[in-house]
Copies of this chain bind each other. A is one copy, B any other.
Amino acid sequence: MTTIKDVAKKAGVSIATVSRVINGNTNVRAQTRENVTKAIEELNYTPSAIAQGLQKKVTKTIGVIFPDASSYYFAEIIRGINRYLQKHAYQVVVSSSHDAEDEAKTFFSLVNGRQVDGVILMMPSIHNAEVINSHIRDLPAVLLNTEINTPESVTLVIDNYQGAYEATIHLVEHGHTKIGFIHGSRNNYDSEERYRGYLNALAEAGIAPDKDLETRGKFIENSGFEAARALMEQENRPTAIFAANDAMAIGAIEAAKRLSLDIPNDVAIVGFDDISTARFISPSLTTVNVPVLKIGQLAGEYLLKQLRGEAKEERDQIAVVPVNFVRRESCGCPPNHHTDGQPN
């Protein structure tokens, strides 16, 4: 293992000088710098990030904590985070967890071990958020999709409410009055917010909410299939269904097909997320596009801002990412293969 000493010896200088050129310090004679650089290259030397970290108190790595669930959504966000942070010379350590307890444990070992300079937390479960949030203390953090916020951290949420509102109103405009809703997992922030948008749209349209038209899934296709089937096998079935995410909406489409119901004529279906399958399934799924990759990037940006100690403006404390309603076939709109856009 080649160390700074080896380089110093080879270049005929002190380790301090080597350190200077490594860190781009200007107080080094051009010739000396060159010698050192050459030695570094010849020895194929890279400074030990560990040793640097111990000394500088920064590790140039940030932790990302997210639920251990198979999800396009999380995967893409992490990709966005990673892409941005990597560009800015940060490493990303990911850490998933199944339950709240586990989550807290992981979190502590990461944070207390001074292994990370900051964290990005994805905790869709409202409860988890509180648990961890109370322990963030002074660590730079970005919280994703929770309603929790502290003076120390910034929270990033997508405009669930607005997206759900628009989607529901659109269904109303298609003439529907019996609009079903498939909830996501219990206590999930996104699901609740989408439900809120749905309810308000109904209210605004003068439609009384009907608990019989509501059911709950777990954000996966399977559960959407079952939930939709239950909804549609009722006597008084909905003529439209708004699912809290695309995976469940796709399950609902499949359920409708199994029941030989035509989409959108017998039942219109709308989702949320705009996963790539949405555009390819038949009928194509009307949904709300969430800029997942961008969310990851934003999370990275906000965290770096905090790390740099840049003053957070009041309005930055909690940022809302706009979403985009996209009409396809499953709501009853005519097919339009030109405006579908490209995947990220």
Interface residues of A (CB under 8 A from B): 1, 44-51, 53-54, 59, 61, 68, 70, 72, 75-76, 78-79, 82-83, 86, 91-97, 106, 108-110, 112-115, 220-222, 225, 247, 250-251, 253-254, 257, 276-277, 279-282, 342-344
B70→A221 contact, CB < 8 A? no
Among A97, A108, A250, A276, residue most surrounded by chain B Cβ atoms (within 10 Å): A276
* 9 pairs of A and B residues whose beta carbons are closest in the complex: A46-B112, A49-B113, A75-B75, A93-B93, A50-B53, A254-B280, A277-B277, A48-B114, A49-B115
B95→A93 contact, CB < 8 A? no
B280→A50 contact, CB < 8 A? no
A222's partner among B68, B76, B254, B343 (CB-CB below 8 A) is B343
List the B side residues contacting A342 at CB < 8 Å: 222
B110→A91 contact, CB < 8 A? yes
> With A70-B276, A282-B257, A343-B222 in contact, is A50–B114 under 8 Å at CB?
yes
> With A54-B51, A83-B68, A342-B222 in contact, is A46–B96 under 8 Å at CB?
no
Looking at chain A's contact residues, the main secondary structure is helix
List the B side residues contacting A280 at CB < 8 Å: 221, 225, 250-251, 253-254
A92→B94 contact, CB < 8 A? yes
Q: How many copies does the complex hold?
A: 2
B93→A106 contact, CB < 8 A? no
Q: Compute how far the CA of A96 lies from the CA of B293 in the bound complex, rounded to whole angstroms.
A: 14
B72→A79 contact, CB < 8 A? no
How far is the CB of A284 from the nearest CB of chain B, in Å? 9
New contact pairs (4) apart from A49-B114, A70-B344, A91-B93, CB-CB < 8 Å: A48-B54, A50-B115, A78-B94, A250-B277
List the B side residues contacting A96 at CB < 8 Å: 79, 82-83, 86
List the B side residues contacting A45 at CB < 8 Å: 112
Offer 15 A-B interface pairs, CB within 8 angstroms, sorted by A.
A46-B112, A49-B109, A49-B113, A51-B54, A70-B344, A75-B75, A82-B94, A91-B115, A92-B94, A93-B93, A93-B94, A221-B343, A225-B280, A277-B277, A282-B282
